[in-house]
Chain A
Amino acid sequence: MALVHKLLNGTCILRKCPKPSVASYPFLGTRFADYCSSSLQKPAPVPGKASSQRKTEGDLQGHHQRDVALDITCPEEKPEVSFDKAIKDELKNHFWRLKDDIVNRWIGPEGRPLHEVLLEQARVVWKFRGKEDLDKWIVTSDKTIGGRSEAFLKMGKNNQSALLYGTLSSDTPQDGESSRSGYCAMISRIPRGPFERKRSYDWSQFNTLYLRVRGDGRPWMVNIREDTDIIQRKNQMYSYFMFTRGGPYWQDVKIPFSKFFFSNQGRIRDAQYQLLLDKFWRLGSPRSRCLHIWCLVSVHFLACSQPPSCCILMAEREQVLVFLLIKALIPS
């Protein structure tokens, strides 16, 4: 089913046609709807409102006016639609990946020799050097549920980093259900093998998450999800905080995986469990706030490492209780 959708998407070549909306595929189900949400479906900025807001916030935001939204097409170019070519390219791509998969199996885990995998102490998993690196991420905000926050992801200066920026609005959607709103997030895509088979990362030999970021001085959250086949575990994740300094220097954030606490549907569970890293699935970095503000963070790379000083296996219960206390004291 995923492959069929991919093939249909192939007919909308080079992001020049509007993507078929999820609502037009009711038979595909919610699980598939998650797959359909794509970083390419970034909401186009409303020129009038966005420019008036950003003009008051300095040169960095002023550059936004010169950015071209991904879904705007040049009126002189005609979109090329070739169904046969798209199918052939897609099939060729998948069989090529299958061949690589089989060949890499002889070489070792993840296509690298075993001794290399066993001896490495740090691995950069995501870095931002071009547009193709942005495609590995999904940017989302409460606009999907009717809110008014906006978030965008673009390449930073000199193509060495990615810039996540936008506005957060605490205006709740008028649906009668939501009482709070105002979030944005960048979430890594699920790794896929040939024929869109679900894959996961094996980070069992690492114990720390390493990020190099330059934020806006506000706290962000880092969420990790494990690969699962059971739908009841869809909303379970492990979270921790990332406090950004605000620049202008890069900040190296090291979060041991033992610090991550377990939560289900956004609520921290009393029973905490060790984060098992052999089926690492997705990394997300959401930000929420109760005021109407802009948010901004640059990301240089995300990696995992094994520093010699980190030996703890899982977060202690006391750490979770401390978090709850702080949250209650600060007025929202």
Chain B
Amino acid sequence: MNPLIFTTILMTVLLGTMIVMMSSHWLMIWIGFEMNLLAIIPILMKKYNPRTMEASTKYFLTQATASMLLMMAIIINLMHSGQWTITKVFNPTASIIMTSALAMKLGLTPFHFWVPEVTQGISLTSGLILLTWQKLAPMSILYQISPSINLNILLTMAVLSILVGGWGGLNQTQLRKIMAYSSIAHMGWMTAVLVYNPTLTMLNMLIYIMMTLTMFMLFIHSSSTTTLSLSHTWNKTPLTTTLILITLLSMGGLPPLSGFMPKWMIIQELTKNSSIILPTLMAIMALLNLYFYMRLTYSTSLTMFPSTNNMKMKWQFETKRITLLPPLIVMSSLLLPLTPMLSILD
């Protein structure tokens, strides 16, 4: 793609998300979503093939439907409150429709079916943008309307997302699909605590983005899209296998890594609000995610899979240099000791 055109499209994506996050007028928020959607489509199809085209089409259809539902909720809210500002959504119908629309944008259950299909069909770089940057805009709107969201619906979606994210990722050998199901599960954790303490949602989002960025960059670095190709990484860059091990365990929420911090905080917050069964269920279902992360680390880092001549072909290609990788690895694994500082968020 022409670099100038690519830069323009990328700037439009950034601008769209910024408009959504900074606007207080519902129409501007909707415009921001649409700008973001239309600009991300050529980025998803950057490496064109029929599969990418299909993935982009599915993404466009689901996101357009979500935008349509969002507009309907905005208009219902306008009819009842007479205002366009995003203060509080008074009408329960508008609140439910808006929650459904934003859940569809985020990929929460039961609107999660597009996430693995789209992520699998696009390149690693596009998948990175899809699973990180594209979550910011809908999550910011959920943050702002959190006081008026129906708690039962949100918690049901959250728990189901954690379950589906864990269950769906169990059988996967494709790395992008594993990351997609991981994203669904993490979104579930974020939305579970949204009504109780929205600040923790933001903390979870921040750490999730760091970990997902790190994982995707490691996959790009080793040019791996399947578990098998990742298990041959030891052949070319043995240090990468250690980094993959640390990052995957962090994503699984194991102490003393960074990924444990948001889970700990969320369970603590839910327990403070007299909710015992819910965090117990969430912690148990998180074990499913940990199981398939562990299986990935077993084949990648803990064992040396037999390599064939096909893998030796990778020796001929220069390793891609990713500047941001070292600081991201540090941040996605060593931030747990900073947890006492989180008291300033209260």
**How far, in angstroms, from A233 to B54 measured CA to CA in the complex?**
9
**How far, in angstroms, from A273 to B49 measured CA to CA in the complex?**
6
Is A150 in contact with chain B by the CB < 8 A criterion?
Answer: no
Is B173 in contact with chain A by the CB < 8 A criterion?
Answer: yes
**How far, in angstroms, from A105 to B181 measured CA to CA in the complex?**
15
**How far, in angstroms, from A308 to B232 measured CA to CA in the complex?**
14
Decide if B306 touches A119 in the complex (CB within 8 Å).
Answer: yes
Decide if A229 touches B299 in the complex (CB within 8 Å).
Answer: no
Among B49, B54, B310, contact of A274 (Cβ-Cβ < 8 Å): B49
Quick check: which of B22-30, B103-111, B164-172, B326-334 contacts chain A, the rest being far away? B164-172
Decide if A308 touches B231 in the complex (CB within 8 Å).
Answer: no
Beyond A115-B299, A306-B308, A310-B310, whether A229 also contacts B54 by CB under 8 A is yes
Q: Mark A98-122, 1 if CB is under 8 A from B, else 0.
A: 0000001110111000110111010
**Of residues 234 to 266 in A, which have CB atoms within 8 Å of B's CB atoms?**
236, 262
**How far, in angstroms, from A309 to B310 measured CA to CA in the complex?**
7
Is B57 in contact with chain A by the CB < 8 A criterion?
Answer: yes
Among A207, A273, A309, contact of B50 (Cβ-Cβ < 8 Å): A273
Is A133 in contact with chain B by the CB < 8 A criterion?
Answer: no
**How far, in angstroms, from A228 to B53 measured CA to CA in the complex?**
11
Is A322 in contact with chain B by the CB < 8 A criterion?
Answer: no
**How far, in angstroms, from A291 to B263 measured CA to CA in the complex?**
71
Is A196 in contact with chain B by the CB < 8 A criterion?
Answer: no
Which residues of B sit under 8 angstroms from A207, Cβ to Cβ? 310
Closest to B52 in A: A273
Decide if A118 touches B299 in the complex (CB within 8 Å).
Answer: yes
**How far, in angstroms, from A121 to B305 measured CA to CA in the complex?**
13
Beyond A105-B167, A109-B171, whether A311 also contacts B228 by CB under 8 A is no
Decide if A118 touches B228 in the complex (CB within 8 Å).
Answer: yes
**How far, in angstroms, from A29 to B167 measured CA to CA in the complex?**
34
Among B173, B310, B313, contact of A306 (Cβ-Cβ < 8 Å): B310
Q: Mark A300-321, 1 if CB is under 8 A from B, else 0.
A: 0000001011110000000000
Decide if A226 touches B309 in the complex (CB within 8 Å).
Answer: no
Assuming A202-B173, A276-B49, what are 16 further A-B pairs, CB within 8 angstroms?
Answer: A105-B170, A114-B299, A118-B299, A119-B305, A204-B173, A204-B225, A204-B228, A205-B173, A205-B226, A226-B51, A228-B54, A233-B54, A236-B50, A279-B51, A308-B309, A311-B313
**Contacts from A to B (Cβ < 8 Å):** 104-106, 108-110, 114-115, 117-119, 121, 202, 204-205, 207, 226, 228-230, 233, 236, 262, 273-274, 276, 278-279, 306, 308-311
* 6 tightest Cβ-Cβ pairs between the two chains A and B: A308-B309, A273-B49, A205-B228, A311-B313, A308-B308, A118-B228
